[in-house]
Every structure is written in C-alpha cells, then in structure tokens.
Amino acid sequence: MSLNVTKGRTDPYGVLGLSRAFHLDPSAIEEAFRRAAALCHPDQADGSTASFHKLQEAAAILRDPAKRLRYLAGVAETSSIPLPAVATDLFPTIVTQLQSSDSLLKKYQAIQGSLAKAIMIDELVNARLKINEVLSSVQKWQEALEKKLRDLDTTGASPQELLELANSFSFAQRWNQQLNERALMLTTLS
C-alpha cells in the first residue's frame, strides 16, 4: 500500500482513501481502516509494520474531530490550548462538580465502617445526579459542535476558525470523559 504524503506529512485522507471533508462518518472511517488494514498489515504478503503504523496514525487523526481539524488547518498538536469562548460558561460548573465529586469520593474511601458508608449513599446519588446534569450540558455542546462541523463542508472555514473549533472539541471531549469517569465511580459506590 502506498502512502500519500503532503508537505512531509502523511495525508490521513489519502492513506484511508477518503474524500477530504470536515465531517466524517465514524463508520466510514472504520470501514476504510479495515479495508486498508487488510492490505498493509504486517501479516499480509505486501504489508509492513511501517505502513500499518502510518495507517493507525492516519485513522487516529481522522477519528478525532479536534485532530482532524488541526490537520486541515495545517497545525500540529498543541500542548497549550486556550479556553474557547463558549466553554467559559461551562468551566466553573464543571470544575466545581469535578472537585466536589473528587472530595466526596475521597471522603467515602477513607471511611472504614459499612454503616458510615451506607449513610453516605444519598450524598453519592445526589453528586451523581449533579454530574449527570453537567454532562448533559457538555453533550449538548458537543452536538452543536458536530452540527457546525457538518455545516463546514458546505460553508468552508478559515484556518483560525478550524483551530477554534478544534479547541472546542478538545475541551468538550476531555470534559465529557472526566464527567463520565466521575459518574461511573459514583454509580459503582452508590
């Protein structure tokens, strides 16, 4: 399998044989990945570890909207990402709920007696409900970001707009993961 390279970088769209677009259907990415993996996997006659590694990297870029948008904007991964304007309203609530649930989980884990743990169940359930409310807000934001991504395929965007959208996706994905982890921990204990 030959790899398409653009400006010294592997073109993930070319590697997977997908049309260049801002929005990609996850099932289309997976189908293209499986099809290409069948050709370039090291266990295949024409395959190689290097080609398969490039395929995995390409799929990782296209699967993640933030990475895909950064690639399309021509920017490598950044370590310092500014808080998007839309996220400033969510940030205090998210931080408060994460800190509150972490404190509650730490308190619960420090308790030795089962009676004392049972008394905390209502507190754990209420914390989980609050986390779920915030999680719902983040998921609505992600849905709005996905819609904007689909709209970009018809309207286009500047590199700056792509980076701002990529940053929003990064924060939304991170917060979604953190809130889901806390909700799971609280569910397991209550």
């030959």: which residue's tokens? 2
Q: Which CATH topology does 5-63 take? A: Helix Hairpins (1.10.287)
- pLDDT tens string 36-73: 999 888 888 887 899 899 999 999 999 999 999 999 98
Domain ranges of the chain: 5-63, 87-189
| Calpha distance 131→128 (Å, rounded) | 5
- pLDDT tens string 121-169: 999 999 999 999 999 999 999 999 999 999 999 999 998 899 989 999 9
Q: How far is CA 17 from CA 20, 61, 71, 133, in A?
A: 9, 14, 16, 40
Q: Which residues of 2-16 are buried (b: 16+ CB within 10 A; e: fewer)?
A: eeeeeeeebbbbebb
DSSP H stretches of helix in the chain: 12-16, 26-40, 49-63, 65-73, 87-110, 114-119, 121-155, 159-189
Dihedrals φ, ψ of 157, to 5°? Answer: -160, 155
The confidence score (pLDDT) of residue 5 equals 36
Is beta strand 9-10 parallel, antiparallel or unpaired with respect to 5-6? antiparallel
How many residues are recorded in the chain? 190
Mean pLDDT along residues 87-103: 94
Q: How far is CA 72 from CA 29, 126, 146, 148, in A?
A: 16, 42, 16, 15
